[in-house]
A and B are shown apart, each in its own frame.
Chain A
């Protein structure tokens, strides 16, 4: 771990000398279950863009499984091994409600899929291969609506990058009907790069 991130704390007197992984484990595994909604019991929050340098894929897997609720080692490894295919290694960007909850901003439904984007121009079949590898490695499913990759031009408007996509805010569309027309905020994102770094960006931060 190269740097100690700046964090805001709640109930933690000092973070000096405490590694990110310790802090994050507390946040990521402390999940209260209230009805159909999971609420993270986060004691600490990352408040600014934070970059972690790791020794490689295995260490990246260790970190992101502590950050993303419901993501286990087998699925994280399958995702990164497939995305970091030596022929076309691509940066993976994870966002959505599960990541928003990691940042302490809202809850996620236990049946929610994981939003996975790619910071490169991608072919559909390449994305399908990566997401199929992820889905088949465990119980958590990848979101399979509009594909989130740099340069895609879906009906809702161009996606400049997955990082940009996960920082959008606005008004929900008509689905699901029980939340139609409600405002939604950015989720922030966790970006995992083939060069071994992980970039963690809270909601609304550039």
Chain B
């Protein structure tokens, strides 16, 4: 279950896309429109669980030397390199910071990955300003813009 709002109006989420390679780059003020999302943790696990597991598998790999970890890398080690499903339930603050600060382009890109390319979507999410895991859902806010190429 997901709810998408553009400029505080509920819209059809199938109209929303993400250009993962450009995601996070500053958006000129004349284009920027606020958006908000509410996505159930089950849906987040379905769409992003695979990439998150690859990320965790890489981070936990033994490199054959002692790595001095700090910040989020140390915290995910101390919590036992949990799956995304468990992180979304047991480590809500840590996963919120990880998705917001470390994996925003990958997270948003996978959440809106579609057979229809982003270039054909009406609304493009461009930045992720806040993310919180609460009440069985992931809440996101940021800035979007209207795709000048829509409709093609």
A36 within 8 A of partner (CB): no
Interface string of A116-150 (1 = CB under 8 A from B): 00000111110010000000000000001110000
Interface string of B109-152 (1 = CB under 8 A from A): 11001000111010010100000000000000000010111001
Question: Which of A144, A145, A155 counts the most chain B CB atoms within 10 A?
Answer: A155
CA distance A181 to B27 in the complex (A): 17
Residues in B with CB closer than 8 Å to A145 are 20-25, 105
B102 within 8 A of partner (CB): yes
A169 within 8 A of partner (CB): no
Q: Specify which of B65, B103, B148 is in contact with A180 (CB 8 Å cutoff).
A: B148
Q: Which residue of B lies closest to A87 (CB)?
A: B65
B59 within 8 A of partner (CB): yes
Once the chains bind, are A144 and B24 in contact (CB under 8 Å)? yes
| B residues 65-122 in Cβ contact with A at 8 Å | 65, 67, 69, 71-73, 102-103, 105-106, 109-110, 113, 117-119, 121
Once the chains bind, are A175 and B22 in contact (CB under 8 Å)? yes
Once the chains bind, are B149 and A174 in contact (CB under 8 Å)? yes
**Min CB distance, A62 to chain B, in Å?**
30
Once the chains bind, are B25 and A122 in contact (CB under 8 Å)? no
Q: Specify which of A88, A122, A180, A181 is in contact with B58 (CB 8 Å cutoff).
A: A122
Once the chains bind, are A173 and B24 in contact (CB under 8 Å)? no
Known: A123-B58, A174-B124, A180-B147. A146 touches B63 (CB 8 A): no
Once the chains bind, are B63 and A155 in contact (CB under 8 Å)? no
Once the chains bind, are A155 and B58 in contact (CB under 8 Å)? no
A11 within 8 A of partner (CB): no
A171 within 8 A of partner (CB): yes
Residues in B with CB closer than 8 Å to A35 are none
CA distance A58 to B110 in the complex (A): 41
Interface of A is mostly: loop
Residues in B with CB closer than 8 Å to A144 are 24
Once the chains bind, are A124 and B113 in contact (CB under 8 Å)? no
Q: Chain B, interface size: which category?
A: 35 or more
Question: Which of A88, A145, A156, A173 counts the most chain B CB atoms within 10 A?
Answer: A173
Interface string of A148-171 (1 = CB under 8 A from B): 000001111000000000000001
Q: Specify which of B54, B59, B117, B147 is in contact with A153 (CB 8 Å cutoff).
A: B54
Q: Which residue of B lies closest to A121 (CB)?
A: B58
Once the chains bind, are A155 and B119 in contact (CB under 8 Å)? no
Known: A123-B61, A124-B59. A177 touches B145 (CB 8 A): yes
Interface string of A30-50 (1 = CB under 8 A from B): 000000000000000000000
Once the chains bind, are B20 and A177 in contact (CB under 8 Å)? no
**Min CB distance, A19 to chain B, in Å?**
37
**Min CB distance, B45 to chain A, in Å?**
16
Residues in B with CB closer than 8 Å to A177 are 28, 31, 145, 147-148
A17 within 8 A of partner (CB): no
Once the chains bind, are B61 and A174 in contact (CB under 8 Å)? no
Residues in A with CB closer than 8 Å to B20 are 145-146, 154-156
Residues in B with CB closer than 8 Å to A174 are 17, 19, 22, 118-119, 121, 124, 145, 147-149
> Measuring CB to CB, which residues of chain A are less than 8 angstroms from any residue of chain B?
87-88, 121-125, 128, 144-146, 153-156, 171, 173-178, 180-181
Given A146-B109, A174-B17; 6 other pairs, CB 8 A cutoff:
A121-B58, A124-B103, A145-B23, A156-B109, A173-B119, A177-B28
